[in-house]
Amino acid sequence: MTASDNTISDTLLHWYDEHARDLPWRARPGEPAPDPYRVWLSEVMLQQTTVAAVKPYFEKFTSTWPTVDALAAAEEAEVMGAWAGLGYYSRARNLAKCAREVAGRGSFPDTEAELRKLPGVGDYTAAAIAAIAFERRAVVIDANVERVVARLFDIRETLPQARKVIRARAEEITPEHRSGDFAQAMMDLGSGICTARAPKCLLCPLSAQCEGRKAGDPAELPIKAPKKSKPERVGQAFWIERDGHVWLVTRKGSGMLGGMRALPDDGWTAQQDGSAEPLPVGEWNRLGAVKHVFTHAALTLSVLRYEGTQDPVEEGEWWPLDRLDEAGLPTLFAKAARLATAQSG
């Protein structure tokens, strides 16, 4: 690390000591490192999800399952239900698997290499846990850090090709000591000051060293390839109501929204074998449609209400309507349920 790199890390850490965000999974600067369980849980939740969205889920999980052993002992259905609404449900399935593996080991491993072997723990999460929970020197790069480094060094290559250069430059400025605080400082800087739009350069502690600012408009960095349009899908969900209860099914464990409670549907996703289970015979009335955007596609889901008396054929359960918020429906089916209950009312 050069003298200039030392200046960057020292300056940023000094700024972080004064301006660190107060987050429920963090230790304040100067305090002992946080519990690896809390770091791991927060990092998994924060993947492609905002801090504001994660906070209530983190509080719910840590109050329900305060230790990794407690989470490991939980039924997967309970974990999936508690996760409902946070999205990217493979994270929840891996969360349960990882908790069981860590509990079996007796503790979290403390190196990046060993952490990467855990279910659902990739390069970024392993580096974050190693640095923040175990005070190992690790280079932690999320979207905020990526943006800060691209601007700091005026990196003009287009993403994703630029990531190799970004990582090399991040490696140069990551200090041997307090790398966890340094990583969190970079995250805070990107989140609150070096934002994607309208960066607050006058408030930035690294503005004097920022090559992107010297070159012109740092907001144009990092340079991203044009986004591809998402394919449009259509499907149907079925509302079967009886005596103050609605019929819910549990989706297959693999594929989209796997393992989650849901309304029966027509198999709109190929991961559900491309076909629907048999439905009761009788009249179906269309209540309307809801829209939902997944990472890979946009979906318009029509909601049909059953007006007959035949029992459902597929395996499922009658769920009380007055406790529907406890069913842990993923966002897509929660939208469909809201539409149906509004129409019923």
Active site residues: 43
Whether the Cβ atoms of residue 331 and residue 265 lie closer than 8 Å to each other: no
Three-class SS state of 222: coil
CA distance between the termini of the chain: 66
Whether the Cβ atoms of residue 226 and residue 159 lie closer than 8 Å to each other: no
> Tokens standing for 254?
């693999």
Buried b or exposed e, range 75-88, using 16+ CB within 10 angstroms = eeeebbbbbbebbe
Whole-angstrom Cα distance, residue 190 to residue 142? 10
Residue 283 is given by DSSP the state -
Three-class SS state of 118: coil
| Residue 219 zone, left/alpha/beta (φ > 0; ψ -120 to 50; rest) | alpha
Whole-angstrom Cα distance, residue 142 to residue 94? 20
Whole-angstrom Cα distance, residue 272 to residue 336? 18
